[in-house]
Amino acid sequence: MNSTAQRVVAVTGASGGIGRASAVEFARTGAKVALIARGGAGLAACAREVDEAGGQALTIEADVSDPEAIRSAIERTEDEFGAIDVWVNVAFTSVFARFDDIEPEEYRRVTEVNYLGYVYSTMAILPRMKKRGSGTIVHVGSTLAYRGIPLQGAYCGAKHAIQGFHESLRVELLHDKSPINVTMVQMPAVNTPQFSWVLSRLPKQAQPVPPIYQPEVAGRAVVYAATHPRRREYWVGGSTAGTLIANAIAPGILDRYLARTGFDSQQTSEDCDPDQPVNLWSPADEDTDFGARGAFSDRSKDSSLQLWASQNHRVLAAAGLGLGAGLFALLLRRR
Domain boundaries, the chain: 4-303
Q: Which of 302, 272, 118 is nearest to 200 (CA)?
A: 272
Cα distance between residue 89 and residue 12, in whole Å: 6
In the chain, which residues have pLDDT < 70?
1-5, 308, 310, 312-335
- Residue 291 Rama label (left phi>0; alpha psi -120 to 50; beta): left
- Give the CATH architecture of domain 4-303: 3-Layer(aba) Sandwich (3.40)
Q: Which of 4, 122, 129, 19 is nearest to 55 (CA)?
A: 4
Cα distance between residue 290 and residue 139, in whole Å: 23
Convert the pLDDT of each residue in 69-114 to its tens digit.
999 999 999 999 999 999 999 999 999 999 999 999 999 999 999 9
Question: SS3 breakdown of the chain: % helix, strand, coil, rounded to 5?
Answer: 50, 15, 30
Cα distance between residue 163 and residue 48, in whole Å: 33
**257 is an active site residue:** no
Q: DSSP E strands: which ranges in the chain?
A: 8-12, 32-37, 56-61, 86-89, 95-96, 136-140, 181-186, 189-190, 199-200, 204-206, 212-213, 233-235, 267-271, 300-301
* Cα 311 to Cα 102, 237, 247, 305, distances in angstroms: 39, 12, 23, 10
Dihedral angle sign, alpha carbons of residues 193, 198, 204, 208: negative
Q: Is the peptide bond before 211 cis (omega within 30 degrees of 0)?
A: yes
User: Contact, 126 vs 180, CB < 8 A?
Assistant: yes
What integer pLDDT is reported at residue 4 of this predicted model? 44
What integer pLDDT is reported at residue 303 of this predicted model? 84
Q: Which of 72, 57, 160 is nearest to 118 (CA)?
A: 160
Radius of gyration of the chain (CA): 21
Convert the pLDDT of each residue in 106-142 to its tens digit.
999 999 999 999 999 999 999 999 999 999 999 999 9
Catalytic residue among 115, 118, 155, 224: 155
Indicate the burial class of 50 (C-beta count within 10 angstroms; 0-12, 13-18, 19 or more): buried
What integer pLDDT is reported at residue 2 of this predicted model? 54
List b or e across 130-147, with b for residues whose CB sees 16 or more CB atoms inside 10 angstroms: eeeeebbbbbbbbbbbbb
What integer pLDDT is reported at residue 215 of this predicted model? 98
**Phi (first) and psi of residue 83, to 5 degrees:** -60, 135
The alpha carbon of residue 126 and the mean position of all alpha carbons in its chain are separated, in whole angstroms, by 19
What integer pLDDT is reported at residue 320 of this predicted model? 57
Cα distance between residue 177 and residue 189, in whole Å: 35
